[in-house]
Amino acid sequence: MQHAKNHLIGGITGGIGSELAVKLGAEGDCVAGYARKAAAYDSFSPQDGFMLKTCDATDPKALETVINEFQKDLGSIDSYTHAIGSIYLRPAHLTPVEDWFQTIQTNLSSAFYALRSVTKIMAKQGHGSCLFFSTAAAQTGIANHEAIAAAKGGIEAMVRAAAAGYASRGLRINAIAPSLTDTPLSQAIVGSEQALEISKRMHPTGAIGEASDVASLAAWLHSDQAKFVTGQTFVIDGGISKIVPKPKA
């Protein structure tokens, strides 16, 4: 069976990464991915048929090696999704320097390392779609988000510059900026009934996001239906970054 496209997902075991993997696989495409810990692959069924490897995305040499291995195994990488990141919520004056470095390394540096490696492959192919993740907190000021907003805001700037640089090579590069989404990464917030209710009230829609919401947009951005879309950051946040809702009576 010849697959329509080969998709590579960094952070394939995460809430959004795994949702996207299942969605793309159900469409008949070939799905491959990596995560930091092999034990996390137990959440997938053997019937999914995903090609899986282990890699720490904050190690640039290891990441380049594993991406090159995927290219050799798959023959091509038609799309890359960098579903890797963290949630860090502290005001600047309470953020240790070590936590700042870790936030930048996990979110921004890992994204750049992946971009650097995958564009070498896609530029030679003459086609490819790359997708990175920002946050709604990079779109508007939200208290206690200084470190993560800086890291994710850097990703948005990187996406615009890369989209400009690689457009003539046939590459499309975009980003998605979700607000709080119900995933394993956000359990410290959504797992608390009080914190969850506060978060819901902050969103004009009165709800937080679901991984399937974000994965659906991600799948579309990698599809041929989005062939005219590049250099964009798509905000999926229940309106929190753009609107002030009418108060309830």
Q: What is the pLDDT of residues 154-170, one digit of tens each?
A: 999 999 999 999 999 99
What whole-number distance in Å separates Cα of residue 62 and Cα of residue 56? 7
State yes or no: pLDDT of 2 exceeds 50.
no
| Ramachandran class of 25: left when φ > 0, alpha when ψ lies in -120 to 50, beta otherwise | alpha
Q: If you write DSSP's letter for every residue of 109-146 in order, what string do you get?
A: IHHHHHHHHHHHHHHHHT-EEEEEE--GGGTS--TT-H
- Tens digits of residue pLDDT in 60-118: 999 999 999 999 999 999 999 999 999 999 999 999 999 999 999 999 999 999 999 99
State yes or no: pLDDT of 222 exceeds 70.
yes
In what helix (H) or strand (E) does residue 43 lie, and over which residues does it extend? none
- Tens digits of residue pLDDT in 13-54: 999 999 999 999 999 999 999 999 877 777 786 667 899 999
pLDDT at position 249: 63
Domains of the chain, each with CATH number or no CATH: 6-236 (3.40.50.720)
The model carries a pTM of: 0.93
